[in-house]
Chains A and B, each alone.
Chain A
């Protein structure tokens, strides 16, 4: 987990966190109705990820993930690596993944329902929310407040494996805050996700996905076809992105990545 992104950087100030709190509290001031009228399917959200480890010297790393939703398409954008992963939910509930290499304006399309990173994409909630419904179901609801789009649920779970807390916006199916700890003392690893920005502007979201659709796309079956294409011959060395909050947990809530199973990025 600590190698989450290529270009991690040490936190030098608290600017983003301050911005985050200000943004969230004022986000839905117009939405005073008991019912939330915002469409969770048209949404973009930015998260600040802070990872800290006590394993050697105390280290803190920070990075960002942007979540984009447009109908049955979801994208996770990793600005530090110039890679965006996207998933399209088919009518038959299969999930089709695509990987966009923003720095190259190139994309690789995968077939729906096939094994990617050693597993078959089946859990849409995991991609849509960054945390799967399966994980949320394992947590204990501590309290609930607010109404409409601001309705907030706080979950937690304290197990021998560490503390997990989740602040959840159920109307938007969106993480507001998510953190977990694992280990004790010098072995302790902490990860904290904070929502720093949310948008609902259809034009902005459409423009983001339209931009992706302009990339030159290669069917993954064709990767072997053209060894004269430098992108295809080098692509695999660019590494793979594979996270999202609940991706790091097994069904007991164990933080898988902290156990040494790490992906390169």
Chain B
């Protein structure tokens, strides 16, 4: 087809289509909500601006929040609101720009959070299990860290004078948040007691230590640079900051000795001595008391280990804020800096819910993340804040069978035109949601902590669910292949974006592109 012909054909098509539209398409088609919603969606995209530079960037990472998790969570969210569910959107699914992201690590087809978050934060892929270092590292070998450290977007934002923040519902020293600030040959080196002797004597620092000494470490690596440190740190993981001494236990402690550190250091006290204007909090009351206008800096460690699942949050001893509350509070503090801010928010327990084989916990935490994104959207100006929402990897989590529209997403498959559960060829009912591998089916009733499934023996394979309420919070889905815990998956995950620079989020991209999106938008590396 030559160019002239193509142009003529296009003009003809346009004329014909606009001339025929009103007459050819029946009104029941053009008046259909499906039709008008889709047309409005296109119109909205036509009106999108082409601004590329942002003042602020917020990246949300749903750990393990694969595409099937998004779909199932959006249906559950809709059904909890009394709707069929399929027609709705998670808050960030209405963002105008989306890409698919390839998640593999340099040495692994199916990745882990350490390698994937390093890719997102530093712009290059690396190995499984390592934090803030390139692929030349040897996992667990301290001597290979020096010379292989990579720089993160959060560090560059600090150097540029932006305010910075890290929020996670996991331990703040866990792989995903750690990749924003730490360099470690092993993701498990969360405190000194987790490290082998040769790593300690070799001069490697544990991840908690690196967080508290972030400012000094960054200034040491970049001579002449003067940064003021991370303004907002909120998450779990108090155990890695406290000495192994019961006298340091907080009122929220769930262990006889809360702290794990074997070097007798209290890193919360060290942080407070470094930042006399910093506020350290460990419970809901302390969190609520933070005045975001007068507070320059916050360290909130709300749990000895990971923070609670959203569905289990009311069971916390001293009380914990939700991920939406933490996001809002973080933005209110960070936006006091006129130069802008960079904030990373991780929903860390979606991943844990899936690992434990609990769709309920994974999906309710995904909905909580959606609420946090909504809060961020409401608190920021879309003309100056780039918001990215993505995952680090997926899980072997499926939506299967032929359930009818509006069938409870946590329920058994009920086919179109039926009110009774469909049966498989073994004569037994089956659920819409399931896992390819993992610990298998458990009926733990009203339990709201997915991890309780780990106290059960493996129960993989087909089970008789006839008399089981699979919509209960304590139900763990069937799994085909028996494993101590369910695993990550290797398929692509989604990236959703709005704000300046979001236009570049399109196509199928390597995960390391995420860093470059942030960098482009904030001009972190200036020539």
Give the size of the chain A interface in residues (CB under 8 angstroms). 40
Contact of A112 with B254 in the complex, beta carbons under 8 Å: yes
When distances are taken between beta carbons in the complex, the residues of chain A under 8 Å from B457 are 236, 239-240, 264
A-contacting 9-mer, from B269-277, B377-385, B484-492: B484-492
* In the complex, chain A residues 192-231 whose Cβ is within 8 Å of any chain B Cβ: 213, 216-217, 219-221, 223-228
**Cβ of B449 under 8 Å from chain A:** yes
Contact of B255 with A221 in the complex, beta carbons under 8 Å: no
Contact of B355 with A225 in the complex, beta carbons under 8 Å: yes
How close is B374's CB to chain A, nearest CB, in angstroms? 26
CA distance in complex: A8, B9 (Å): 86
Contact of B484 with A115 in the complex, beta carbons under 8 Å: no
**Cβ of A114 under 8 Å from chain B:** yes
Most chain-B CB neighbours within 10 Å: which of A110, A221, A239? Answer: A221
The residue of chain B having its C-beta at the shortest distance from the C-beta of A96 within the complex is B254
CA distance in complex: A219, B304 (Å): 10
Q: What mask results when residues 60 to 99 of chain A are scored 1 for a CB within 8 Å of chain B, else 0?
A: 0000000000011100000000000000101010101000
Seed contacts A225-B175, A226-B188, A236-B457; 12 additional CB < 8 Å A-B pairs: A71-B256, A96-B255, A110-B455, A111-B451, A118-B456, A216-B194, A220-B451, A224-B484, A227-B485, A227-B487, A228-B128, A236-B484
**Cβ of A117 under 8 Å from chain B:** yes
Question: Which among B113, B355, B449 is the interface contact of A114 at CB below 8 angstroms?
Answer: B449
The contact sample of 7 A-B pairs, CB cut-off 8 A, is A112-B254, A114-B452, A220-B451, A223-B484, A234-B484, A236-B457, A239-B457
CA distance in complex: A99, B449 (Å): 18
When distances are taken between beta carbons in the complex, the residues of chain A under 8 Å from B188 are 226
Given A73-B256, A213-B257, A264-B457, A114-B484 contact (CB < 8 Å):
no
When distances are taken between beta carbons in the complex, the residues of chain B under 8 Å from A213 are 244, 257
CA distance in complex: A112, B13 (Å): 68
Contact of B484 with A88 in the complex, beta carbons under 8 Å: no
Residues of B within 8 A of A (CB): 112-113, 128-129, 175, 188, 194, 244, 253-257, 260, 305-306, 315, 317, 349, 351-352, 354-356, 439, 444-445, 447, 449, 451-452, 454-458, 474, 483-487
Contact of A224 with B255 in the complex, beta carbons under 8 Å: no
**Cβ of A113 under 8 Å from chain B:** yes
Given A96-B255, A114-B447, A221-B352, A233-B484 contact (CB < 8 Å):
yes
CA distance in complex: A237, B456 (Å): 11
**Cβ of A232 under 8 Å from chain B:** yes
When distances are taken between beta carbons in the complex, the residues of chain B under 8 Å from A240 are 455, 457
CA distance in complex: A89, B354 (Å): 29
**Cβ of A10 under 8 Å from chain B:** no
Contact of A92 with B129 in the complex, beta carbons under 8 Å: no
CA distance in complex: A73, B315 (Å): 22
CA distance in complex: A112, B444 (Å): 16
Question: Which among B113, B260, B444 is the interface contact of A115 at CB below 8 angstroms?
Answer: B444
Contact of A118 with B444 in the complex, beta carbons under 8 Å: yes
The residue of chain A having its C-beta at the shortest distance from the C-beta of B354 within the complex is A224
How close is B451's CB to chain A, nearest CB, in angstroms? 5
When distances are taken between beta carbons in the complex, the residues of chain A under 8 Å from B255 are 88, 96, 109
How close is B383's CB to chain A, nearest CB, in angstroms? 39
Residues of A within 8 A of B (CB): 71-73, 88, 90, 92, 94, 96, 108-118, 213, 216-217, 219-221, 223-228, 232-237, 239-240, 264
CA distance in complex: A216, B456 (Å): 21
When distances are taken between beta carbons in the complex, the residues of chain B under 8 Å from A71 are 256
Contact of A224 with B352 in the complex, beta carbons under 8 Å: yes
When distances are taken between beta carbons in the complex, the residues of chain B under 8 Å from A115 are 444-445, 447, 449, 452, 455, 474
Most chain-B CB neighbours within 10 Å: which of A113, A225, A228? Answer: A225
CA distance in complex: A225, B349 (Å): 11
Contact of B317 with A114 in the complex, beta carbons under 8 Å: no
How close is A93's CB to chain B, nearest CB, in angstroms? 11
Most chain-A CB neighbours within 10 Å: which of B447, B457, B474, B487? Answer: B457
CA distance in complex: A90, B316 (Å): 13
**3 interchain residue pairs of minimum CB distance:** A224-B355, A224-B485, A116-B455
When distances are taken between beta carbons in the complex, the residues of chain B under 8 Å from A113 are 315
CA distance in complex: A96, B249 (Å): 15
When distances are taken between beta carbons in the complex, the residues of chain A under 8 Å from B454 are 108, 110, 220, 223, 236
How close is A197's CB to chain B, nearest CB, in angstroms? 25
How close is A37's CB to chain B, nearest CB, in angstroms? 25
The residue of chain A having its C-beta at the shortest distance from the C-beta of B239 within the complex is A219
When distances are taken between beta carbons in the complex, the residues of chain A under 8 Å from B352 are 221, 224
Contact of B305 with A233 in the complex, beta carbons under 8 Å: no
How close is A265's CB to chain B, nearest CB, in angstroms? 11
Contact of B317 with A92 in the complex, beta carbons under 8 Å: yes
Contact of B254 with A111 in the complex, beta carbons under 8 Å: yes
When distances are taken between beta carbons in the complex, the residues of chain A under 8 Å from B194 are 216
CA distance in complex: A73, B257 (Å): 11
Contact of B455 with A117 in the complex, beta carbons under 8 Å: yes
When distances are taken between beta carbons in the complex, the residues of chain A under 8 Å from B449 are 111, 114-115
Question: Which among B439, B451, B487 is the interface contact of A236 at CB below 8 angstroms?
Answer: B439
CA distance in complex: A116, B306 (Å): 18
Question: Which among B112, B256, B355 is the interface contact of A223 at CB below 8 angstroms?
Answer: B355
When distances are taken between beta carbons in the complex, the residues of chain B under 8 Å from A118 are 444, 455-456
When distances are taken between beta carbons in the complex, the residues of chain A under 8 Å from B451 are 110-111, 114, 220-221, 223
When distances are taken between beta carbons in the complex, the residues of chain A under 8 Å from B354 are 224
The residue of chain A having its C-beta at the shortest distance from the C-beta of B237 within the complex is A219
When distances are taken between beta carbons in the complex, the residues of chain A under 8 Å from B452 are 114-116
CA distance in complex: A136, B354 (Å): 42
